[in-house]
Structure 1
Amino acid sequence: MIKFFRKIRQNLLMENLSAEQAGKTSKYFKYAIGEIVLVVIGILIALQINNWNENRKSNKIEKEFLSNIYNDLVIDSIQFTYYIETFKSVEKLHFQLYQIGINNEVLDSINEPALIRRSLYFKQLIDKDFKEKAFSISNTKVRKALIAYTQLVADMETSYKQELERIISDDLRPYLGIKKLYNTKNLFKLKDKFFNDYTFKIVNGLNLVDKNKLIELSKTDEFQQILFEINLKWNEFHSRLLPVIRENDKLRVLIKSELNNY
């Protein structure tokens, strides 16, 4: 009988120990799972902070990039204004020479005769090379507008360099030299010594191109043929320039609005 009760007691003790051990194991697993959850949360928070920092750096770089583009567009727009004014002056001279040569009109005066050989300093800050850089811009609307703008600039550049500049340098200037229209003695009297970009002083009575000879030359069929071609090239360039100016204005407004979002 004593052995029977002793056995029962031992069984109860074993059950208590098993229960206690199970409780400890359960607590250990809960603790381990909690630790894992905390580690995962910590990693996620660290990744989020890292992403936030990277986005902040990326936004800062993009804002600076867009700001530089905006400033370049402003400078280009000033250049375009110069192109328009030059075109108007050249177009006026062309028309005057046409009136004299074709219509036999007598004019009291003509525009600055040196404009007949005028070319442009042609280098846009926002050119076709920006097409590749534009893909780094996150705003789709701005990116597409910049890519479209650079294409218009490329078309205008092609029109100028392959057509207008070529006929001025290869045909017109040598022709004027052969006809002895250049007042060579006036070159250094007119050249501005403070600049190295072929800037000339405005001095009354001194011209690089002889006005009277130009008027007489305009009465020949040979000159009118050249004038016809060069005027077409100037107008072609002008037709390419106008949409570039419009898109420049639109793009500056768009970028300025985008910069306010950073």
Structure 2
Amino acid sequence: MIKFFRKIRQNLLMENKTGKYFKYAIGEIILVVIGILIALGINNWNENRKNKESEKIILNNINKNLTIDSVQFDYYKEQFKQIDKLHFELYGLAQNEQTIDSISEPLLIRRTLYFKQLVDSDFIQNIRPINNPKINEVFTIYVQRVDDIEEVYFRQLYPLIEHTLKPLLKEHKLYNTENWFRLKNRNFQKDYTFKKVNNKNLIDKNRFIELAKTIEFQQLLFELNAKWNEFNTRLEIVIEENDNFRKLITSELKNY
């Protein structure tokens, strides 16, 4: 093709047709420029297509992680209900409104959670390649909501349980160590309470009730319940944001 164009230019020069030569040269330049633009356009289209496919994979992975996180959030919610119920029972003991038999699993008083969301770390790694402004905006809000929960849990609630409550239980010798070491299966039941051993608990209920009636414990119970409720309030917000986020991704994926 290049030899063909060169031959035409040589013929025009040999025939002394300078005007036609320059017109042809300009036309040739225009054709070359058009060819370059077309090539760039095709390359850009191909890159955009690859980016779209990459974003689609990332969004699908994020959506899966959001779904897994939503299941974990439901677990947190159920744990809160059980712990909150126990708190009210322990408060009722101090008011002589409850009896020993009305107390649910005492061991839940020291319950902590494994709090780690899959989507958080996945977003940090994958958010940059996503050019969808709606996704980026909701992502920012969602991560902030998750950070709010972590702020309450790791900096306030968890230290209160680990460094104040658990040492107090140990100090008052509430643990039934014999039952614990005789417990062959330490797995939780479906309601996340330990199975009883010969109808005995892993925490001595009588001593626990004596402790629960003290002013010291009731003050601590106030702090625990307040922090758990703050955790739950922020959890409900994240659950709603999680649901909205998954709906947005499902909707946006239709455009990929």
- TM-score bracket, shorter-length normalisation: 0.7 to 0.9
Which consecutive segments of 4 or more residues in structure 1 shift more than 3 A?
20-23, 128-136, 188-195
**Letter of the 1:239 counterpart:** T
**1:244 offset after TM fit, Å?**
0.6
For 1:117, the aligned partner's letter is: R
- Which residue, out of 209, 213, 224, partners 1:219? 213
User: 1:68 maps to what in 2?
Assistant: 61
Aligned to 2:111: 118
- The one-letter code sitting in structure 1 at the alignment partner of 2:146 is V
Q: CA deviation at 1:72?
A: 0.9
In the alignment, which residue of structure 1 is the partner of 2:77? 84
Kindly report the root-mean-square deviation, in angstroms, between the aligned alpha carbons of the 2 structures: 2.5
Correspondence 1:244 to 2:238:
yes
Shift of 1:110: 1.4
Alpha-carbon distance in 2 for matches of 1:194, 1:236:
29
Unmatched 5+ residue regions in structure 1?
Answer: 1-19
Q: What residue in structure 2 maps to residue 93 of structure 1?
A: 86
Q: 2:251 aligns with which of 243, 247, 257?
A: 257
Aligned-partner residue type, residue 209 of structure 2: I
In 2, are the aligned partners of 1:114 and 1:209 still within 8 Å (CA)? Answer: yes
Q: Which deviates more, 25-34 or 49-58?
A: 25-34
Which residue of the partner structure matches residue 31 of structure 2?
A: 38
Q: Distance in 1 between matches of 2:102 and 2:121?
A: 42
Output the amino acid matched with 2:224.
Answer: I
Match of 2:48 among 40, 46, 55: 55
CA contact (8 A) 2:93 2:213 kept: yes
Give the Å deviation of 1:135: 4.8
Percent identity reads 56
Distance in 1 (CA, whole Å) between partners of 2:141 and 2:154 is: 20
Of 166, 173, 188 in structure 2, the residue corresponding to residue 173 of structure 1 is 166
Contact 1:191 1:201 in 2 (8 A): no
Question: How does the TM-score come out when normalised to structure 2?
Answer: 0.85
* Larger mean Cα displacement after TM superposition, 235-244 or 182-191: 182-191
Give, as a single letter, the amino acid of the residue that structure 2 aligns with 1:178: E
Q: Amino acid of the residue matched to residue 136 of structure 2?
A: R
Q: Which residue of 2 aligns with 1:15?
A: none
> Where do 5+ consecutive residues of structure 2 fail to align?
1-12
CA deviation string 1:200-226 (max 9, x = no partner): 852452432222321222122222111
1:58 Cα offset (Å): 1.0
For these two proteins, the number of residue pairs brought into alignment is 240
Question: Structure 2 CA distance, aligned partners of 1:136 and 1:175?
Answer: 50
Larger radius of gyration: 1
Q: Note closer, same or farther for the CA distance 1:171–1:75 as it changes in structure 2 (3 Å cut).
A: same
Cα separation, 2, equivalents of 1:252 and 1:241: 16
Which amino acid in 1 is paired with 2:77? I
What TM-score do the two structures reach when normalised by structure 1? 0.83
User: Given residue 142 of structure 2, which amino acid in structure 1 is its aligned partner?
Assistant: Y
Q: Which residue of 1 aligns with 2:4?
A: none
CA contact (8 A) 1:190 1:200 kept: no
Aligned to 2:227: 233
50-59 or 103-112, larger mean C-alpha shift: 103-112
Q: For 2:60 and 2:219, how far apart are their aligned partners in 1?
A: 47
Please point out which of 183, 198, 211 is paired with 1:190. Answer: 183
Equivalent residues of 2:149, 2:234 under 8 A apart? yes
Instruction: Name whichever of 222-231 and 124-133 sits farther off.
Output: 124-133
Secondary structure class of the residue paired with 2:127: helix
Shift of 1:260: 1.4
Q: What are the superposed Cα offsets for residues 149-169 of structure 1, whole Å, 9 maximum, x if unpaired?
A: 100100110100111101000
Distance in 1 between the 2:200 and 2:71 partners? Answer: 29
Distance in 2 of aligned mates of 1:200 and 1:115: 7
Query: Is the 1:134–1:147 Cα contact (8 Å) retained in structure 2?
Result: no
Q: Secondary structure at the match of 1:120?
A: coil
Matched with 2:18 is 25
